[in-house]
Structure 1
Amino acid sequence: MNDLPDSPFAAGLDAGLREFVGYTMKRATSAVTADAARVLEPMGLRITTFSALSVICHSPGVRQTELAAALGMERSNSVAVIDKLEKAGWIARERKSTDRRAIALRPTTVGLARQKQARLALLAHEDRLFAGLTAAERRDLVKLLSKIEV
């Protein structure tokens, strides 16, 4: 018979790990991303596709390699994400006039609207999740996390 509780985390069995910043960040990241995925799913987006769409909307004409670098992903993985966005009608690929080998990515009108809708939904999601933090604490948290470089 199993004497363990259903959730070892609820029982505090991970208390010895809570001193580690990385462990606590992993737990927080899991909670935030799971809820963000739930928010984005009805809009046909995942966290990665939303991120790519946002970069393209804010930097029209960005090249595929630049997008991959900005998101810290392998170029081959970024192609699949770009394909999904293009198939949904949210972005368009076009050849750059200065370099025919380079592909520029541009948002469509529908893509701009979808990104705005998803952005607002994610802001509301973060307001719910981080309701226990003041606006200054949220800014400080972002600032501190931004200092972490690999």
Structure 2
Amino acid sequence: MSSDTIHDAALDSALPELIGYGLKRSATAVTADAARVLEPMGLRITTFSALTVICTHPGVRQTDLAATLGIERSNSVAVIDALEKAHWITREREPADRRAIALRPTTAGVMRQKTARLALLGHEDRMFADLTAMERRELVKLLSKIKV
């Protein structure tokens, strides 16, 4: 039997017992599908995440956004630039601290975030269709216990 005819499941049969392997496989599939859903809306996972934080916390500082998303402050600049170029957010200097930049969503940004969120909820319904509502809640709870 050639390696071409061996099913992928047989090749990785020793790996599923490793939690990290299962998480990586699952995350790769979920992330790829989420990216596919967001792309027609001009968003990536990172820009959607940033827009969501800005919409739910208008006036968030650029440095706090980077920390919340777990990205380098320098990398957050490109994300913020993309959102600003799309007219979904604005940057404003904080009157009390002229060095600080506050990020605020525009009306178009709020609408885009809502549309994208609904699309991602549909994506999750498809990806996690085999889980009950209780299993989904438990999965979220368990994932939050992983030390990062």
What is the TM-score normalised by the length of structure 2?
0.96
Q: How does 1:94-133 map to 2 (within 5 A)?
A: 94-133=92-131
d(CA) in 2 for partners of 1:130, 1:42: 22
Alpha-carbon offset, residue 12 of structure 1: 2.1
The answer (yes or no) to whether the contact 1:8–1:14 under 8 Å persists in 2 is no
Q: Give 1:67's aligned residue.
A: 65
In structure 1, the gaps of 5 or more residues are none
Q: Give 1:37's aligned residue.
A: 35
Alpha-carbon offset, residue 46 of structure 1: 0.4
d(CA) in 1 for partners of 2:6, 2:119: 30
Alpha-carbon offset, residue 8 of structure 1: 5.3
One-letter amino acid of the structure 2 residue matched with residue 24 of structure 1: G
Alpha-carbon offset, residue 71 of structure 1: 0.3
Match of 1:83 among 81, 84, 96: 81
Do the aligned partners of residues 104 and 8 (structure 1) sit closer, same or farther apart at CA in structure 2, a change above 3 Å counting? farther
Do the aligned partners of residues 129 and 97 (structure 1) sit closer, same or farther apart at CA in structure 2, a change above 3 Å counting? same
d(CA) in 2 for partners of 1:67, 1:8: 43
Count residues with an aligned counterpart. 148
d(CA) in 1 for partners of 2:91, 2:31: 29
Q: Give 2:4's aligned residue.
A: 5
Q: Give 1:50's aligned residue.
A: 48
Alpha-carbon offset, residue 5 of structure 1: 2.5
Runs of 4+ in structure 1 deviating by more than 6 angstroms, as ranges, are none
Do the aligned partners of residues 17 and 42 (structure 1) sit closer, same or farther apart at CA in structure 2, a change above 3 Å counting? same
Report the aligned-residue RMSD.
Answer: 1.4
Superimposed CA distance per residue, residues 8-28 of structure 1 (whole angstroms, 9 cap, x where no aligned partner): 52x421010111000000000
One-letter amino acid of the structure 1 residue matched with residue 81 of structure 2: D
Do the aligned partners of residues 28 and 92 (structure 1) sit closer, same or farther apart at CA in structure 2, a change above 3 Å counting? same
Matched, 1:18 2:6: no
Do the aligned partners of residues 131 and 99 (structure 1) sit closer, same or farther apart at CA in structure 2, a change above 3 Å counting? same
Q: Percent identity?
A: 72
| SS of residue matched to 1:98 | coil
